[in-house]
Amino acid sequence: MPEDILDRYPLLFESFAKTAEASVGATKRPTKLAGTIGQIKDTTWTGVEGKTLYVGDTIKIASTLYWIDPTGVWNKVGAGKTIKIYHRVNGTYALLTSVTTDAASNASYDFKLDKTGTHYFYQEFEGDAEYEGCTKAFAIRARV
């Protein structure tokens, strides 16, 4: 009579016999905010991160939200994700606005520099059921 496979490999059988269910935890996809600040003059985008501008100038805070696959490739998350933008000058951060990504995973906000000093901006995607949260920070100086 042929030997039963379960008799030959009892540890294999025990392992499966004692584990009636498999527990697989859902993992969220890691994300990355690619953002910058700039100005559009004569239809040309100029990055201004870390530069000095003047009070009264308007800047554009632009963001693209990506998720990163296991091989390291960045993929756009798409529409409907909320990105919060915080701002501070000589004080604590306060929520400036919330923007929503479009179908291309982009979001932007125009901000008029209203005070002298260093303006700090902090963007945050809080995450959701599918994606982890992420942040991006940058600064610009404004003078009279």
Report yes or no: 144 and 116 within 8 Å, Cβ to Cβ: yes
The pLDDT value given to residue 90: 83
Beta strands in the chain (DSSP E): 31-41, 44-47, 52-54, 58-68, 74-76, 82-88, 94-100, 106-112, 117-125, 134-143
pLDDT, tens digit, for every residue of 126-137?
999 999 999 999
Domain span holding position 50: 24-143
Q: Distance (Å, rounded) from C-alpha 37 to C-alpha 21?
A: 50
Q: Look at residue 5 and tell me if it is in a domain.
A: no
Q: Look at residue 18 and tell me if it is in a domain.
A: no
- Helix or strand or coil: residue 62? strand
Q: What is the mean pLDDT of the chain?
A: 84
Q: Look at residue 4 and tell me if it is in a domain.
A: no
Domain count for the chain, please give it. Answer: 1
Q: What's the pTM? A: 0.78
Q: Distance (Å, rounded) from C-alpha 104 to C-alpha 102?
A: 5
pLDDT, tens digit, for every residue of 31-89?
999 988 888 877 888 888 888 999 999 999 999 999 999 999 999 999 999 999 999 99
Q: Distance (Å, rounded) from C-alpha 122 to C-alpha 89?
A: 12
Q: Look at residue 15 and tell me if it is in a domain.
A: no
Q: Look at residue 17 and tell me if it is in a domain.
A: no
Report yes or no: 113 and 96 within 8 Å, Cβ to Cβ: no
Where residue 59 sits, what CATH number does that domain have? 2.60.40.1930
The pLDDT value given to residue 14: 36
Beta bridge partners of 88: 120
Q: Look at residue 1 and tell me if it is in a domain.
A: no
Q: Look at residue 10 and tell me if it is in a domain.
A: no
Q: Look at residue 2 and tell me if it is in a domain.
A: no
Least confidently predicted of 9-13, 59-63, 138-142: 9-13
Letter string b/e over residues 20-55, b meaning 16 or more CB atoms within 10 A of that residue's CB: eeeeeeeeeeebbbebbbbbeeeeeeeebeeeebee
